[in-house]
Amino acid sequence: MEAFLYESQAARVKFGVDVRKEVRKELESLGGKRALVVSTLEQKDLAQEMAGYLGELCVGVLAEAVQHVPRETINKGMAVVRELQVDSLVPVGGGSSIGLAKALALETRFPILAIPTTYAGSEMTPIWGITENGQKKTGKNIIVKPKTVIYDPTLTVTLPPRLTVTSGMNAIAHCAEGLYAENANPIISMMAVEGITALSSSLPKILEQPEDLEARSKALYGTWLGGTVLGSVGMALHHKLCHVLGGSYNLQHADTHTVILPYAIWYNSTHAPYAMEASSKAIGSDADDVAGALFDLSKSLGVPVSLEEIGMKREDLDEAAMIATRNPYYNPRPIDESGIRSLLEFAFVGERPIQGKSL
């Protein structure tokens, strides 16, 4: 066995049906007395529900989170934080709400108690992202990692079918890239395989039976694992491309992950044999067709499989390839602009990766 380094990041996870109602007790354990509940405008009612459970420990609701965490939204949030003398943050929702809370924590060092309602996994990571001047920048800081996460599968029941699938594919992407991370280790790899298995098997069941809390619990379990993988080891080409496409061209975050995943895996397949073998067992495909199987899964679940479908313009592909290769980063296969441009062309038209043939 090769040498490896494994570091565990402290986190408290409360998982189960209706555990959201215990949010006050969890906030008290963090010492929070003046919490700000953070959400998108669309989830303001849910945010108000959480505020009700918190009682006098909540001093306000900030329902202004939007995707990609633009600097303008952070500035507005900081004004509210100062006005209300906030001492803790309770984001309710998906990556937009949790992302805004992280950005506020980056400036204030306030503890975060996260209540996710999608399968994106941001709640388990110390990774932050902020969009400014048309560019999305990301970084890591343990300060922004939520101290406590409440996973309540009942909160995902009203998640629209498309977002159910795309946020689930986002979580699968965390696991898939974790398997070929530069600092991969056996513990995280086991979590990654388990996460892919849980998500790929539960998403079809959720679409068939939206009220199936067992299937939703399984997907949320996979989300927890995917988020843990994302927060524990480095990511590579897939996540870099998604940050470029989302931040620079304002593409929907989960849709972008869903579209790009098969092509990023295809690009790396010949340079990451262990990852392909492990992923194939998790999703039940041939090792030389993991990319194609992921494409088939997305297509069978009725979500977009091309960049064109989610609003990307062909004339922007050259620029996107240039931005994505401008700064060096780890990837199992060397990154070059022509190769990434070819990947983006396949992704733009939504052509299935070819089994046994490298991109």
Measured CA distances, 167 to 116, 146, 255, 278, 359 (Å): 11, 19, 8, 22, 25
Domain containing 195: what range? 161-349
Same domain, 202 and 131: no
On whether residue 356 sits in a domain, the answer given is no
pLDDT tens per residue across span 106-122: 999 999 999 999 998 99
Q: Is 86 within 8 Å of 59 (Cβ atoms)?
A: yes
CATH code where residue 132 lies: 3.40.50.1970
In the prediction, which pLDDT does 247 show?
87
Cα separation, 197 vs 223, whole angstroms? 11
- pLDDT of res. 295: 98
Confidence of residue 269 (pLDDT cuts 50, 70, 90): very high
Alpha-carbon distance 143 to 96, whole Å?
Answer: 18
The first and second tokens of residue 130, run together, are: 């902020």
Model confidence band, residue 293 (pLDDT cutoffs 50, 70, 90): very high
pLDDT digits (tens, 9 = 90+) for 49-87: 999 999 999 999 999 999 999 999 999 999 999 999 999
- Number of Cβ within 10 Å of residue 85's Cβ equals 10
Give residue 356's pLDDT band: very low, low, confident or very high (50, 70, 90): confident
Q: From CA 127, how far away is CA 133, in angstroms rounded? A: 20
Tokens of 109: 């060092």
Using a 10 angstrom Cβ sphere, with 0-12 exposed, 13-18 middle and 19 or more buried, the burial of residue 33 is middle
For the beta sheet containing 88-93, the strands, ordered from the edge strand earlier in sequence to the opposite edge, are 12-15, 148-151, 113-116, 88-93, 35-38, 58-62
CA 243 to CA 256: how far, in whole Å? 9
pLDDT tens for each residue of 167-213? 999 999 999 999 999 999 999 999 999 999 999 999 999 999 999 99
Look at 130-139, 219-228, 278-287 and tell me which has the smallest mean pLDDT: 130-139
Determine the Cα–Cα distance for residues 37 and 44; give it in Å rounded to an integer.
9
**Co-location of 91 and 179 in the same domain:** no
Residue 355 covered by a domain: no
Q: Is the model's pLDDT at 127 over the cut of 80?
A: yes
User: How many angstroms separate the Cα of 306 from the Cα of each of 238, 253, 261?
Assistant: 15, 14, 11
Q: For the chain, what is the mean pLDDT?
A: 95
CATH code of 284's domain: 1.20.1090.10
> Do 46 and 185 belong together in one domain?
no
In a domain, 270, yes or no: yes
Which of 163, 221, 229 is closest to 192 using CA atoms?
229
